[in-house]
Amino acid sequence: MSLTRRAFLARCASLPLATTLPHRSVAELPLGPATLTTVSDGHLVLPRSFLFSHMPDEELTSILQDFDVPDGHLTPDCNLALYRDGTNTVLFDVGAGPDFMPSAGAVQDSLAAVELTPDDITHVLFTHAHPDHIWGLLDEFDDPVFASAHMMMGRAEWDYWWDPRTVDTIAEDRMSFAVGARRRMQTIEAGVTLFEDGEEILPGIAAVATPGHTPGHMSFELRNGPDAAMVVGDAIGNHHVAFRRPDWRSGSDQDMDQAAETRRMLLDRLSREKMQLVGFHLPGGGIGRAEATEDGYHFLQDET
């Protein structure tokens, strides 16, 4: 059953929130002379139905028990990837800002913990335009937060959210997503760079189309010498069901069938190439590897 927008927001607001936000860098990975770090934007608080309503109950329960997922609401971490190569300081997405959920919106404090300010960010690369990824463009006074950064987004993702018809065609519980995305995109319209799948958009950073979660969702392959990693955004949205049963349809995805196909493709490639990945909602800072197993895949959390 699909939640209405009003019911969805009301349920989220009624769920318990953590009293403090993790304002810190939570994981780090060297890529040659460059560094890939994740910084926390806090976490989300979601009703379980948002992810699991389309999944078979019995097998789902077994998987969640295997991963010790507690009953009740879900509280996925929000990890923003930060890449520094000595010339560019690149932030992947900008977090939720002050207007989405009280449990998120901590990126400025997390940047401060690694001695950076928003003005130090040279480029922002968007995986997609959901609220927890783009609403952080504006602060509580509607002023731009990353005013010095060059903004970059995949053309298909931009075109989808920029289209005024999207608000009328998107699911009812996501109408505010469309309105909020377009309002923030208007603030960067004059200077944004749009790119296509496969383009090297910055030195060592190539766009990889991973649609389904949103129509134009992008991942990013980072290469520096022999070292490589993939920033996957929400294309792999959790460390349990998404890995164990990537073929299952998840209510968090706008096109559930396409998203499942994308997950299978990504996990197959990442496991075969033993490439490290960064997931926006994966635990422990989100850096790790995908390992193929007899019953799907497993997320191996990075220990660095």
Q: What is the pLDDT of residues 272-281, one digit of tens each?
A: 999 999 999 9
Which mean pLDDT values do the consecutive 10-residue runs of the chain (304 residues) have? 42 43 67 95 95 95 94 95 97 97 96 96 98 98 97 98 97 96 98 98 98 98 95 98 98 98 98 97 96 95 68
pLDDT at 284: 92
With 0.85 as the threshold, say if the pTM is over it.
yes
pLDDT tens for each residue of 139-185:
999 999 999 999 999 999 999 999 999 999 999 999 999 999 999 99
What gap in Å lies between CA 32 and CA 188, rounded to an integer?
A: 32
* Complete domains list, the chain, with CATH: 5-12+22-301 (3.60.15.10)
